[in-house]
Structure formats: C-alpha cells, structure tokens
Amino acid sequence: MSAHDGVELALWRVNGGGEPVLLLHGLGSNRLGFDWPGRSFAEWLAARGYDVFLPELRGHGRSERPGRGWDLDDYLNQDLPALLSAVTALSGRQQLHWMGHSMGGLLWFLLATHGDPVAVRSAIALGSALDYRPGASGFRSLLGLKPLARKLPSLPYGGLMHWLAPLFGRAHATPDAFNVRPSNVEAPLNRRLHANAFETIPTALLEQLSSAFEPTGLSSRDGSVRYLEPRQALQTPTLLVAGSHDPQATLEAIRASATLLGDAAQVLELGRSQGCRDEYGHWDLLIGRRAPQEVWPKLLGWLEQHAMTK
C-alpha cells in the first residue's frame, strides 16, 4: 500500500469476516504490541468475528523508511488517509473502528479534531493523551536531552532496547518500567517485547512531539496549528483507556484530554482500585499477564456497544 507521497506502508490482516477494526501502534514500535505471538489481541478479536487490520506507519516494522526524517504532519497528511482508504476498500465497508495505542491514539485525536474522521465509527485510545501538560510524564524528564538529540538524524531506540532486553524483568533492572509494570508482565515476555517491538525514531518526530509539553501544547511542524485548539468538535464515541501507573500517559493527562475532547470522550481507568489484580503501566494494557481477562473484554464491549448495525 502506498501513502500519498509514494512511501510504501505495510498492512497486515487477520480476517474474522465482520466489522473492520484498525489497530494502530505507537511511537517507535510496530504491530507486535497488538499481535504478540501467544497473546495476540488481533487474533482474539478476529476469533470473535472482526476483520482486523494492523498497519505499520512509515519507518516502522516492514514499512518503507524514507531517506529524510518525518513527523506527525507526514502521518496525518500521508499515512492515515492511505490507511483509511485501504481498510475501507479491502473490507468493503464505509466505516471502521479505530483502536490506537499511545501515539496511535494521539493520531486519532488529531484526525478527529483537525482532519476528516467520517470513516471512523468508534474509537479506543489506550495509554494516549492529547494534553500532556498535566501530570508527571516520564517524557518530561527527557526534554533536557533535546540539544543532544538535534545532533542526530534519529534515535536508535529499537537497537538500544534490543541491547538492554536481557536485563529486563529482573529485580535489579528498572528502565523497563517506562514501558511496562514489571510485576504485570511475565519476565520472559518483557524481555522479548523489548528485543522485538521497538524501532528507530526520527529526531524530527521527537522534536515535534516535545511541543506537547510547551504552554500551548502540541503543534504542527511549522507551529501554525495548535492541536489543543480544535477545528471541530469530537463527534465519534471515543474511549480513553488509562493505566493506573502509566509513566508515559499519566492519569492526569488522560483525564484532562477527555475533558478537552468533550462529551463524546469517556475514560476507563484500570488498576487495583478498579478491581484489577495489579496496577497497569503503558504496554500492560495490551500484553499484560491478565490483559486477556481484565482489559480485552472491556474493549470488545465498547465495539459491541457501537456496532455498525445499531
């Protein structure tokens, strides 16, 4: 599948024969979060009658990596229109359900408030925020590295995680807590995840995302669009799923984002205070040891509530 500027994008399909669901990965990752061998939400959903599509944005997984850097503007203006067009054409449906993790949910917020969301029937954003200013996000502590990052064309995040992976899931290792709550993900899965599910991130994208922590919030590449100032109200039913101990998209940021998005947005918080066996971090919502029992059925319930036949 080709994006509007000719970049070739990978699109995987697990066909259950029913309503189409697009599962979009986050920053510096690939489809494996939604389609982990032995704990695949994509296969679980297809077994319940959904036509599941797993795209990989430019530079991720098996999609083409352009010679120049890219950012949110490229995703919004090139990749997302191509993905929506491909999924509706392949499924034979005019609408689909959107489910995005982390940046995959953020991209939905931007499309819904500044683009053309007509093809989306309902949406779920897992570990995603639009307004990152509230709360103590771990990303904020990394802003001091911007001068160094600007000297590099990209950050070899995937390579770094692959190198560190053997340390993760052990008592003396803490860097993995940025992505998972170690107690909520089996140690072997934790290590395999970090070794295989992450990619190199272009500096241009990181530079743009860092604007989310400025007083006026996230902006377009040239600063002309302030995404906290919507061009249109969110009309599509959207569920924001928040992990109780997510160090990336904090509860405060997700609650503030839902308030900003308005009445069509609802928040689902997951952790011990909601009856879960453990607290939830950033990736646990997808591949946590109890996600198939505690999280996935709730996502299915949202899809069923907003079925296209209703």
Q: What is the pLDDT of residues 45-92, one digit of tens each?
A: 999 999 999 999 999 999 999 988 999 999 999 999 999 999 999 999
Distance between CA 83 and CA 78 in Å, rounded? 9
Contact between residue 214 and residue 65 where contact means Cβ atoms under 8 Å apart: no
Confidence at residue 68, expressed as pLDDT on a 0 to 100 scale = 87
Query: What average pLDDT does this structure show over 126-143?
Result: 89
Query: What average pLDDT does this structure show over 200-210?
Result: 93
* Residue 169 banded pLDDT, cuts 50, 70, 90: confident
Res 144 pLDDT > 70: no
* Residue 148 banded pLDDT, cuts 50, 70, 90: low
Res 27 pLDDT > 70: yes
Confidence at residue 1, expressed as pLDDT on a 0 to 100 scale = 86
Say which range, 155-159, 214-218, 237-241, has the weakest mean pLDDT: 155-159
CA-closest candidate to residue 48, choices 304, 237, 287, 223? 304
Confidence at residue 175, expressed as pLDDT on a 0 to 100 scale = 79
Q: What are the backbone angles phi and psi of residue 265, rounded to the nearest 5°?
A: -100, 135
- The DSSP call for residue 76 is I
Contact between residue 39 and residue 291 where contact means Cβ atoms under 8 Å apart: yes
Query: With left for phi above 0 and alpha for psi between -120 and 50, is residue 116 left, alpha or beta?
Result: beta
Percentage with pLDDT > 70 across the chain: 96
Confidence at residue 147, expressed as pLDDT on a 0 to 100 scale = 76
Q: What is the pTM of this model?
A: 0.96
Res 310 pLDDT > 60: no
Mean pLDDT in the chain?
94
The pLDDT tens digits of the residues spanning 176-200 come to 899 999 999 999 999 999 999 999 9
Query: What average pLDDT does this structure show over 233-259?
Result: 97
Say which range, 94-108, 137-151, 179-193, 268-282, has the weakest mean pLDDT: 137-151
- Residues with Cβ < 8 Å from 138, sequence gap 6 or more? 178, 247, 248
Query: With left for phi above 0 and alpha for psi between -120 and 50, is residue 176 left, alpha or beta?
Result: alpha
Sequence-distant contacts of 137-140: CB under 8 A, at least 24 apart:
137/213, 137/247, 137/248, 137/249, 137/250, 137/253, 138/178, 138/247, 138/248, 139/209, 139/210, 139/212, 139/213, 139/248, 140/213
Query: What average pLDDT does this structure show over 116-127?
Result: 98
